[in-house]
Structure 1
Amino acid sequence: MVSISYALSDPEILLKFKSSLTNHTALKSWENSSNPICNGERSNWIGVVCQKGAILGLKLENMGLSGTIDANTLVALSSLKTLNFMNNNFNGSIPEFNKLTGLRTIFLSYNRFSGDIPGNAFKGMVRLNKLYLSKNRFTGPIPASLATLPRLSDLKLDGNRFSGEIPDFKQEKLHVVDLSNNQLEGPIPASLSKMNADMFAGNKGVCGAPLKACEATVTIIFPTSTTPADPRENVSPNFMNKISMWIIVIPIVVGVLILLAIVAIVIINQCKKPLPDPKLKAIKVEDRASAASSNETKPAEAAPKLSSVSDDDGDKFDLQDLLNGSVEILGSGCFGSSYRTSLPDGTAMVVKRYKQMNGVEKEYFQEHMRRIGRLRHNNVLTLVAYYYRKDEKLFVCDFVHNCSLAVHLHAHQTLGQPGLDWPTRLKIVKGVAKGLAYLHKELPSLTAPHGHLKSSNVLLNEFFEPLLADYALIPVINAESAHELMVAYKSPEYVQHGRVTKKTDVWSLGVLILEIMTGKFPSNFLLKGKGNGEEDIVTWVKSKLGDDDRETLLTNLEVFDREMGAIGVGDGKTMKQLLKIGLSCCEDDVQKRIDLKEAVWRIEGLKLRNMSNDGEFFSAIASDCEEDMKW
């Protein structure tokens, strides 16, 4: 069967692979065609990742796919290095990926795979460096072959039913091992003792660093000879055990106290000094200013205890842990500064320091933080912990490695990256809509559950999935600052009538859609909303339509961002539909503006078409459009 696959062309291989899948309507573009699948770095088939004209990977997450992942057929793709089937409906046993020895990454999280994984399931996959199996239903022991992979760096097995002891992972490059929420037991290997304790949470039988120490077992050997009695034999065993324990504990305690004293001195001295120049300078899109001055101090002068927002008992780390790592300024926004730091195990975290919350009562603030901390959604950035002091508030969350949407829309050239293509932009819009709908569902008592939706508050993970940030702040921001700085208070209903409504977030969503589709930055968000004489994005788009009905848009291509690249004619219709949804969200009259439920429903209904690739979609764009596209 494998030998037959080698005789097939790349399109035939993928079509054969598609036939093993069910519910594959999202793969309509996978059809026999005279056009090659890959044209350099560009793919003509959705979900196919290309590199130098060859098929590098399959990126088929969030497509509702089920059936069988036919590894035998994929063997014939000699350049295949990455497989991404996350967030689908696959079930049954794990595919035979060890036949694909060239794979670097495998992402299977959020499916329904089940059963034991054979111990040798990954034997011979010496190039594999990332394996994500989170949130499935796997059982049995963790495959021993994983501990033999020399290049393994990221392993996520959380949210399954793995049992037994944890293998001894000794790979030097291994820096992420998430084994939380399984049924594992026994001691944590010394090689993993420096990992974050979160990585082992939810396994009742696991012990040892970084969790609590394993209970010691005492073996009593009864004498069988008639040797002279030891004078200690009449002493209580408990007494002897206590003596032995204190002999061990006292030096450790003394050593720890000395270490803490040294650390405290270092921290105090560091806090008196300015931060070094940041390695990473974020673009402050709001006022085009520099990220932050080099003489700004660290987020806190002392190291008090952080408050966890999870349901777990106790705090997972404290502020001292964050301060001990190198602190790097990411940016300075209208509400405060953001810092990147790391926990002792190397996990990157972000600390955001807010300057506009000083009037919030402690009890109300804490209750609101606990409420936010319970939120869990793939498109909402999770709050991990917070710190309250009368004159200072800190939020702690995971570091998101792919920057913000604003950076990728308006500053990617500075970073030496290509612009976002059309499929990625549609994916981002859908994720933002899902995240916003979740916030409205979970926070119904808030008039504007997000209240501050804009491109710099949409973070992108390694798969370009959006994560909404800086949400639900209106209740805890000083009223004066909120009215001056937050997006909700720039909406037409607030400007005209001094009120925020349930549809205010819809207006923000519409502006964001127009920004994504046109590449123009909403000028009313610049300079903290004070205006700079530029025409706002909604007015600009509407001006391109003239006085005629909005169907004029169907023939006016000037509004679209050319950074999206060459687009099939079939996709052009979907792009125009999305732009019209954005305009429907931006109606000045709240009564005429669509509600969020309808907006999400219409966005979810948009599909990538790519029916034709004859010519470029943007060939008709006028040459004088360049100046209008600048922000």
Structure 2
Amino acid sequence: MGIKCDVLSIHVTEIRLENLNINGRIDADSLCKLPSLKFLSLATNHIAGNIPKSLSNCLGLTYLNLSSNMLNGIVPASLESLKNLRSFDISNNDLTGYIPHFKQEIELVYNNTTISGMPDNTTDFTMKTSDGKGANMEEEKAHRLTWAITTLTMVLLIALFSLFIFFTHKKNRKATEVKESKECIHGSSASSYTAGTEDDIEKGGEVRDFVFFGERQEGFTTDDLLTSAADLQGQNFYSSLYKIRLKNSSIFAVKRLKNLHVSDDVFKQKIMRMGNLKHPNLLPLVACHSSDHDKLLIYRYQKSGSLSSLLSSYAEREVDIPWRKRLFIMRGIARGLDYIARELDEDSAPHGNLKPSNILLGETEEPLISEFGILNLLYAKRALLYSSYGYRAPEKELTKKADVFSFGVILLELLTGKVVQKSGIDLPKWVKFMVREEWTAEVFDAELNREGSRWAFPLLNVALKCVSHLPEHRPDISEVLEKIEHVLNSEEDYSMSSPSSVESNQQDRMVMHKTSETPGNC
């Protein structure tokens, strides 16, 4: 809230933190590290101290509002170097001294302060105070009119020259776009569509520069995306995620990849394999776009949210997660991971960044694993830096057994009701401690104790094996899936009068005390 970024970039352009009871001093050095910052308002807070001289390094500022704070001291003369500043409000503070000698036309608001005076020479800039009076001279108006006519003439000449250059290179640019579209994910089962051949381009034909996967084809172009409403959902070192609503009301999630360290051929090969993976528990890739400037992955937007949002809502007691629903989520994730592990080669990490926020919920709330394969596009060491801490395996490697560890943490979240990303808890460590102290029954949350605690014990057993410290002590994902499906089938056939079921349940409880670091199968 209060922070705005440039669409399809990582640059902050606006900071509006008003009336938030913020105190402390202004850290101008940090603010001026934002190269695209244009709008800064810290009005109506409790900010004290001086206005930093280093604020003059924020050269892109056009609007600066520091009014209604507890600022004191003089207004730094160095602020006159802010050549782009058009509005400057320092009213309702305890400032003294002089207003900087700005050369450009600017709106200054400084009433109700203790400013002692103004510079003697004020004829070469326009000042508008809070009462709307100007300090400009008639000759200044004539000067600006002459300057405007000269500028307009130059702009027209530049525009004519730019049009000439544009039409000269238009044919070559379109031909290049067609070539990139055809080459993206060469040789896959995906379908590449263009609205014209290369001969058509010579005649001004339009190009659709996406490669689509699956049977259902979407007819949109990069222009459609760039002219549609886009909301930034999140970003990190290697990607930015946007929610985009097209003009036809279709909603897509667009992931823009950046800072990749793979060749174009390797990128195409990796994305080809991702796009061809089809499973009910994987978020399908709709389309991709690859060019020198952008690499985009397009998915259908899932309005049901993620497992992370579901667990957070449950922790806040806003929703319930019945035991059967938890079982289906566990099984769906395990099925998706098992499919990925079987389909990808040994050199590829099955996922690499498994966590609840990367598990989306479909229309029927079935789990859909997203983000699989993306970390394969980074250097392995760098990719590890962006794996989620609470779900990352101790060995810090991108392997199948590391994914099993991450899945084990998610299993523990579903069993305990605790949210790692929200609480920061080391969940495997806490559960192992509870089991070691023979407080195993206290591990499960209240809803689980009401509905499915008798079946939760064997799943807690397998979850603890998954989060074993050593990779060789963890089961394969196929073994985990087999155990989850066994619990689901057994629960359906369960009878309260069945002695064998009770005995099996008791055995699982006894095994709990030996599973924290003991090697073995599920």
TM (norm. structure 1) is 0.43
Match of 2:258 among 352, 355, 360: 355
Change (3 A) 1:389 1:590: same
The residue identity in structure 2 corresponding to 1:582 is: A
- The structure whose residues are more often helix, as a share, is 2
Contact kept in structure 2, 1:379 and 1:468, CA below 8 Å: yes
**2-structure distance, mates of 1:432, 1:511:** 12
Which secondary structure does the structure 1 equivalent of 2:243 belong to?
Answer: strand
Task: Tell me which residue corresponds to 2:430.
Answer: 540
Counterparts of 1:69-108 in structure 2, within 5 Å, are: none
Task: Tell me which residue corresponds to 2:273.
Answer: 371
Match of 2:400 among 482, 498, 502: 502
Change (3 A) 1:270 1:431: closer
Worse overlay, 308-317 or 361-370: 308-317
Task: Tell me which residue corresponds to 1:589.
Answer: 470
The residue identity in structure 1 corresponding to 2:434 is: K
Contact kept in structure 2, 1:437 and 1:596, CA below 8 Å: yes
Change (3 A) 1:271 1:545: closer
Counterparts of 1:346-425 in structure 2, within 5 Å, are: 346-357=249-260, 359-390=261-292, 392-411=294-313, 417-425=318-326
Shift of 1:594: 1.3
Give RMSD over aligned pairs. Answer: 3.7
The residue identity in structure 2 corresponding to 1:543 is: F
Shift of 1:584: 1.1
Which secondary structure does the structure 1 equivalent of 2:450 belong to?
Answer: coil
Contact kept in structure 1, 2:355 and 2:391, CA below 8 Å: no
The residue identity in structure 2 corresponding to 1:312 is: S
Whether 2:365 is the aligned partner of 1:456: answer no
The residue identity in structure 2 corresponding to 1:337 is: S
Which secondary structure does the structure 2 equivalent of 1:512 belong to?
Answer: helix
Task: Tell me which residue corresponds to 1:331.
Answer: 234
**2-structure distance, mates of 1:580, 1:440:** 22
Counterparts of 1:41-190 in structure 2, within 5 Å, are: none
Change (3 A) 1:535 1:465: closer
Change (3 A) 1:354 1:411: farther
Structure 1 residue ranges (4+ consecutive) displaced by more than 6 angstroms after TM superposition: 269-277, 302-306
Worse overlay, 579-588 or 380-389: 380-389
Shift of 1:566: 6.7
Contact kept in structure 2, 1:356 and 1:478, CA below 8 Å: no
Whether 2:223 is the aligned partner of 1:342: answer no
Task: Tell me which residue corresponds to 1:312.
Answer: 191
Shift of 1:445: 2.6
Contact kept in structure 1, 2:356 and 2:410, CA below 8 Å: yes
Which secondary structure does the structure 2 equivalent of 1:485 belong to?
Answer: coil
Change (3 A) 1:520 1:327: same
Match of 2:342 among 441, 451, 457: 441
**2-structure distance, mates of 1:502, 1:270:** 36
Deviations 1:495-516, CA, capped at 9 Å, x for gaps: 4xxx544322111111111122
Whether 2:450 is the aligned partner of 1:567: answer yes
**2-structure distance, mates of 1:420, 1:489:** 22
Shift of 1:335: 3.8
The residue identity in structure 2 corresponding to 1:398 is: R
Deviations 1:474-509, CA, capped at 9 Å, x for gaps: 3202344302112599744524xxx54432211111
Contact kept in structure 1, 2:333 and 2:367, CA below 8 Å: yes
The residue identity in structure 2 corresponding to 1:345 is: N
Q: Which runs of 5+ in 1 are unaligned?
A: 1-268, 278-292, 527-531, 613-631
Contact kept in structure 1, 2:352 and 2:399, CA below 8 Å: no
Contact kept in structure 1, 2:315 and 2:417, CA below 8 Å: no
Contact kept in structure 1, 2:390 and 2:426, CA below 8 Å: no
Task: Tell me which residue corresponds to 2:382.
Answer: 481
Shift of 1:451: 1.3
**1-structure distance, mates of 2:315, 2:409:** 23
The residue identity in structure 1 corresponding to 2:445 is: D
Shift of 1:417: 4.1
Change (3 A) 1:575 1:313: same
The residue identity in structure 1 corresponding to 2:443 is: V
Which secondary structure does the structure 1 equivalent of 2:336 belong to?
Answer: helix
Q: How many residues align?
A: 302
Which secondary structure does the structure 1 equivalent of 2:229 belong to?
Answer: coil
Shift of 1:432: 0.2
Which secondary structure does the structure 1 equivalent of 2:368 belong to?
Answer: strand
Which secondary structure does the structure 2 equivalent of 1:353 belong to?
Answer: strand
Change (3 A) 1:426 1:368: same
TM (norm. structure 2) is 0.51
Task: Tell me which residue corresponds to 1:515.
Answer: 413
Counterparts of 1:280-319 in structure 2, within 5 Å, are: 311-314=190-193, 315=210, 316-319=219-222
Q: Which runs of 5+ in 2 are unaligned?
A: 1-5, 16-33, 39-172, 194-209, 211-218, 497-522
**2-structure distance, mates of 1:573, 1:604:** 16
